[in-house]
Amino acid sequence: MTTKNLFNQIKAKQSFLCVGLDVDQDYFPVKIKDSPDNIFNFSKSIIDTTAKYCVGYKINIAFFEAYGIEGWNSLEKVMDYLNNYYPEIFTIADAKRADIGNTSKRYAKAYFDHFDFDSITVAPYMGADSVEPFLTYKDKHTILLALTSNKGAADFQLLHSGNDMLYERVIKTSLAWQNSNQLMFVVGATKAEALITIRKLIPEHFLLIPGIGAQGGSLEEVAKNGLNHQCGLLVNSSRAIIYASKEMDYAEKAGLAAKKIQEKMKELLIQNHII
């Protein structure tokens, strides 16, 4: 998917919402916990009630691989379903992969060729040759971890490297890599104030912003500091949407939660003259 396609979806749906599929059987309604194919059926129900309000799905790979072959089979079915019935929606493999070059090539093949994701999250610690294999895929995107929401982010990301903080050095260095126009960057919603600096470094790149909702990030602050002239944001919400209810109305409540966020996003897009 091209960024132009993504911009068009944002305008059409008046939304820059990404729904995170952190599918955990421990949070399923009791009646479906032991039902056949429950991982796929839960995911499908969430997708069907939220798709009209979002432009992306961030599929947390750990929540599928934790269930072994059952989880991997469910992941295949979820991706087949999305690509066949909602091909306009941007898909993210939240896998945080990257290794030496030949290994990264296989990760890229798995998620871009086999599962047909539009993008994948990647850790930058091993540098250019661990990331560039992902960037060789035309119209696929590599989402580089820059500044994350978790407490431990301060252990490394906020260390100084010359006149920069390390996360700033990561961003600046990555722009010199092959096909860097296909990069997107992860910036946690709880670090909204840093978006001012980050937007000066990468005014045109898309940012994936996790951390609103259950993690306490402010959508308004993220929009204030992170929107560019074409939006340029994908704001993710996971638990606050998919576990809005633990009863059998979970899918309906997920749709309502997504709609509530989309309505706020529409207001912000109008206020900033993007739609």
Q: Give pLDDT, residue 216.
A: 67
pLDDT of 160 over the 70 cut = yes
Section 195-208 average pLDDT: 96
Q: Give pLDDT, residue 215.
A: 61
Query: Of 133-137, 147-151, 182-186, 201-205, which gets the smallest average pLDDT?
Result: 147-151
Q: pLDDT averaged over the chain?
A: 96
Q: How many domains does the chain have?
A: 1
Question: Which DSSP helix (H) or strand (E) runs through 108?
Answer: helix 101-108
Section 4-33 average pLDDT: 96
How far apart (Å, rounded) are the C-alpha atoms in residues 212 and 215?
Answer: 6
Q: Which domain holds residue 230?
A: 3-271
pLDDT of 214 over the 70 cut = no
- CB-CB contact of 130 with 120 (8 Å): no
pLDDT tens-digit map of 37-56:
999 999 999 999 999 999 99
Token readout for 78 is 């979820």
* 56 half-sphere exposure, CB direction, 13 A CA radius: 34
Annotated catalytic residue: which of 11, 96, 105, 224? 96
CATH label of the domain that carries residue 22: 3.20.20.70
How far apart (Å, rounded) are the C-alpha atoms in residues 34 and 39?
Answer: 10
Q: Give pLDDT, residue 92.
A: 98
Cβ-based neighbours of 68, under 8 Å, separated by 6 or more: none
pTM for the structure as a whole: 0.97
How far apart (Å, rounded) are the C-alpha atoms in residues 272 and 275?
Answer: 8
Q: Give pLDDT, residue 212.
A: 79
pLDDT of 213 over the 70 cut = no
Instruction: Please say if 96 is a catalytic residue.
Output: yes
Percent over 70 (pLDDT), the chain: 99
Specify burial of residue 218 (Cβ count, 10 A radius: 0-12, 13-18, 19+): middle
